[in-house]
Structure formats: structure tokens, C-alpha cells
Structure 1
Amino acid sequence: MIPLEDRLRLKAREEGFADLRIADPGAAAQAGGRLQEFLSFGREGDMAWLKETAARRADPRVLWPGARSAILLAMSYAPEIDPLERLARKDTGVISVYALGRDYHDVIKGKLKQLAQWLARETQEEVKVFVDTAPLMEKPLAEAAGLGWQGKHTNLVSRSLGSWFFLGAILSAAELARDPRESDHCGTCRACLDICPTKAFPAPYQLDARRCISYLTIEYKGHIADEFREAIGNRIYGCDDCLAACPWNKFAGAAHEAKLKARDDLIAPKLADLARLDDQAFRQLFTASPVKRSGRDRFIRNVLIAIGNSGDAGLAPEAERLLGDESALVRAMAVWALSRLLDAEDFATLRDKHAQQETDDAVAAEWQKA
């Protein structure tokens, strides 16, 4: 009879997963110490939930004492486009590859539930499903399971999938055969570190989220600091640079078709069109997309940074219109964008018209700096 673990892998393939590996739930215990070090430097930024859930993240058995096996799965999203080529098209916005299609949480969770239900029937044991939304440290567990290794960019790398894949996890009360741990294959390569526009890696295998463009454009709720704005370029949601630089990506599309397809309208959307989105239009455009997580105001903040970096004075009217936006986040970046696109005389005219009426200190400071 075919072993249960092999049948589980076959079922996973049927659901669209590219790989499945199994680890002991306690196999990544050392990750708790690394998380504490990360938190001790304050590198989590505004992601307070990381600190609040640190104790539970340290060991899945704290989250669920009944867990006997951790099943880690990978689903490829290897892009059919060159993610970095889009950075040269300054009149368009760049959305991270992972967010170009349907929200992966919804897609993967549905497939994981199907697989977990099958496993529960086969073993008569309880299961729990996780997709990046619970305090479970999927990457260290996936490394322990042999799915890949945490590269110098801190993301998981696979010899067969490169850096382009999502992770999902199933915890089971059943005892399943373990797979061997994967070793580090980064060698002397530092391509992912050297390409980072904001120098977000203090050292190999360390990330300062406060400097990461993905954090700044997705998670960060405040006004993005001056030092990062030019480096952000036209990245309006996330950043693919460190992932795209990984040499192991040459294997990512060889044997694994990407299961989550990009929407054509999100590959290179025009900044002018995006700048006109109100809340309703934003929600409509990004229905079933992970981009909706940022909310309209943060997204338009990012769009205005891209407009300011475009060098295209033809986009100035879009920024000028947003000087009266309800959101201070938006107004502040409209000021910054216009300061970069207009000559001194035209900008001074706008400042005389708007600056005295501004009630928000951060926006007023942008007028003053400009």
C-alpha cells in the first residue's frame, strides 16, 4: 500500500501545490530567539502584533499543544514578466508580483482546507490550517521540513522554486514521517542584499522592516520619511527586487506552472488613472486582491510618491487635485510630488494658495520643507 505521506503529496499536487514537506512542530525552536533579537532592535516598526504574539510564535505547540506533525506546502507564483523591467516605466505603478492576482490567502486557504479534510479523514486525527494570518513561523518550519532555506534576504528559497512561492501550513495531531532539513545554498552570493534600494539588510539573514519598501508601502500607516521616497521609485505596493535578484529563480518556472495568474490590468497601471481613485473605485478595482489591505489613502500616498519620482510634469495636475483630499497622508505626498515636478514659481503659487489653509502639522511641514 502507498504510504500515507506519499498519498498526501499526490493530493497536494492535485490541489496545485508544487511541494510538500513534513517536520516535527518543535523543529524550529531556535527561531524564537531570532525573533526576539529582531524585536529587541525595534526592527518590526509599527507591526506591534509581532511583539504581542512572540511567545506563541516561538513554538507551534504553544499555539496548539496537540500538534504532532507540521506539514508545509509551497505554491508557485513564478512571474511570466520581468519584475524589474517595470521599474523603468516611470508613468506606471509597480505592484509586487505576489499581489498581481487574487488574494493568495483566499486561494491557498481553500486548497489547504480541502487537503486537511482529506488528511483528517485518513488519520481520524484533528487538523488546523494556517496561511500567514496566525502566529505561526512558517519559514523556519519550512526550512526544518526541507522545503527550502531562509536566504540572505530572510525569505525562503527553494532549489526547484527559487524565491517565487507562497507558504501554507497544516498542523496535524497525527504522527507523520519527517523529511530531512534543507541546508543553506546561498554560498557567497549577495545579490539580494546589494540590490535593495533602501539598504534594508543590516547584515546577511537580517532585515530591518523599517527600511523595507514592502513594509513602507503596505504595512506602514504614517508619512513615509524623506530618505526613502526617491528610492521607492514607482513601487506602489511592495517590492520584488531582493526576490528577483535570486539566482535560484532560474529553476522557478522550469517544472512548476505558476498557479496564481496576474491580472493584465495590474501589471503596469497608469499612475494618472490610479491617482483618480476614490475609496469606492479603489475597493472596486482591488476586489479579491491583496492590495485592498493597504486601504485607499495609503495606496494613493504611494502613487503620489511614484508621481513625484516620474519626472513627468504632465502628471502634476493629478497631484494638484489631491491637495484638497480628505486624507493628510495624501495631501502631504501631493505637496512633495508637486515640489519635484513644478518649477519654483509655479510651486510658490500653489503654496500661497493652499499652505495657509492647511490644518495638519505634517502637511504644513511638507509645504515648509518644499
Structure 2
Amino acid sequence: MSSNPVVQFGADAQYHAEGKPNFENDQRASVAKQDLRNGKTSSEPTFFKVSSTRKRCIAVIATIGLFAGMAVGIWLLVKFFVKSLAHQDPNTLQDTEMTMSYNGAGSDVTTSTPRKVSFRINAENLLEVQVEGRPGWLLACHDGWKPSLGTVICRQLGHIRFLYHKGVNKTDIMLNYNQEFAQVVSTQNNSTDHMWQPRTTCSSGRIVALKCSECGTYAKTSQTEGSDSTLGQWPWQVRLYFNSRLVCSGSVVTEQWIITAAHCVHKSLQVSGWLAVAGMVTHLCTEQCSSFALEKIIYHQNYNEKSHDYDIALMKLKSPLRFSESIQSVCLPQYNQDLPVGMQCWITRWGYTKDNTHNPQLLKEVAIPLISSKICNDFYQGVITPRMLCAGYLDRNGDAGQKN
């Protein structure tokens, strides 16, 4: 008997695992054939019938295996393709700077180099986009626009809230004959620097009108250095009292939030002792001013009392302000806004004007230029951190003026 494994078919038939019949001798096979010719039924198994049936089984199994293999192959291919897309670098899907050239067919020729964009809202509430290194402002196409972009752009422009947006037909406004446009091509990245492409036209025929919350609105008056302020000229200015004593100033950010300095509040966190007064330019509260109790005080967790680094805090009012000509919110700086050396900034304050000799009754204002932090640190022994600005004038000897 063979040592190979066998499969039983009937009483004493044997098949090797390879599927080949194992006859005892040729005579046995001849007898089986003769019995079939004579119509006799033999007790011996009919090997040829078994072999034919098994071949059909093998063919069916092979066919099923072929289709199963194809299905598995397709599944693996799809899985690999989806996985490769999921792991693709998002930056490769983002917009890059589009250098435009116009030909007779109106096609756009592009190059792929990183660039940044700036935004502004014009007098007609139309959103305009400026590409770094490219002159002029581009109107924003409504194609691909999403409301979430309105919130991001309004905040970058210094506004707290995004109010509304809509698509305006180009035919409803007056456009320059050479006006160009910018279109959103991707919103997968939170940064607005990588989602805009310049266009020669908007396929939808509409452009974006955007409205942000009001800020920075003030009464237009003539401003002279060191002069007294008038009511409504700095409507976001707030006087902050603690236990009935004037200790600091703040600025209105929203109807219910005030921004101030951490050094004013970090030792006096009892909200019951504080009072915020808005809408005034003198020590005396007139009918235009309003007083508000505080609900919450938050100062920066990294504030350093010695260096005054991270010197910023927020105050939440118990009840909201009512905006008027004398009470308005300030515009916050744009994200990563460039503040060049020499830029004129306005300072407003109640307090001493010179050498701590006089405490004015009126809010004072003065314009001063920004000074290089490096120059400022040369005079103040490195106390100016990246979170600080230095402003003022240098005297005749090149020394910095009084640090505030």
C-alpha cells in the first residue's frame, strides 16, 4: 500500500491525493470494461465516472477561485488607492500663486510658488483680495465661497463677528474694463493664504459682498498732538475703577467684553469691586456715559509680573453695552499684521502728562512713532519681548524717550 494519503470512494476504492487511480493490475481494469460491455453491474467502482465527476468539480472550484481572486485583487487595489489619497500631503492640494498672462483664448498661464494674500472690504461692501507681489486688488468671485470663510476673514480684518454675505451680479455694479478677480480653489487648509487663485473672470458671474461687525467708528475731528479729546473721538475708551478708584483704562471689543492690561487686574480679581465706565472723556460722568459691573476677569496665564510679558487681560460685563456715537468697539489688529518702524500710532489716556506734575481732567491723545525693538532694547537692557511694542521719540543724544 502506498504511503501517500488517500481518499475513499465506495467500499474499497482508493485515490491518491494527486487524484490518479491506483489499479491493482491491468486485468482488473479489463474485467471492469468487459462487464460494462455485457450490461452487467459490477461491485467494483467505475473509475472513469468518478474521474469525470471529479474533473467537473475541479473545474467549478477553479472557476470560483478565479473569481474570488479577482475580487480580492480589486479590493486590495481600491484600498491602496484610497489610502494613498488619504496620506497625500494636503499642501499639494492647496492653491499656489498664480502668475497670470492673457492670450486671445483667455486662458490662464500659472506658476506654482507660495504666496500670501490680504483682504479688505470696499465702500460697497465688496470683498477684495490682494496677492503678495501682485499689484492691485482683486474682487472675490462667489465661486467656491463658503460662509465659514466670512468668519475667518472678518476676524483677520480685526472684526469680532461676521454678519452676512451674498453673491452680487457683476452686471449690477460698475467695474473697470481691466478688473481681475480671485477665486477660492480649496478650503481644506485653515489658512486663507493657500486657497485663492487669480482669475480674469468669474464663471458664475457673481462676486462676494461681505459685512462684518462694526468697529473703529468714531467722530471725525481734527487731531493735534497732545490735544484734549472730544466725546465720540475714541468711543472704545473705558475707565476702570476698583473700589471707587480709577486704576486703568480699557478698550471695548464687543458689547460685553473689555480688553485691558494684566498688571491692572492680576492682584484684584474680585469682580464685585470693579466698575467699567464707557462713553466719557472727563472725570465727570455725563448723560452719555454708562457704568457696568463685571461678571468675569481673565488675564493671560503666562503673565509675568516682573517683566510684564503677556500683559493682557479680558473683562466680561454683566450686561451688554448699548452702542452709540460715544460708545463703539475698537478694531483688533489683523493676524500677523506688519507694524513697520516709524508707523504713527495714537495713544489716549487719563493721567499725568509730564513728569507726573499734572493730572488732567480730560482724556488726552498724542501720536507717536514705533521704534525698533532692537534700538529700544539697547536702552532698556533687553526688557522688550516679542509680545511688546516700543514707541516714542529719541532725544538729541539718541536716547529713547519715557517708556510707557
TM-score (norm 2): 0.21
Which of the two has greater strand per residue? 2
Between structure 1 and structure 2, the one with the greater Rg is 2
Higher relative contact order at CA 8 Å, sep ≥6: structure 1 or structure 2?
1
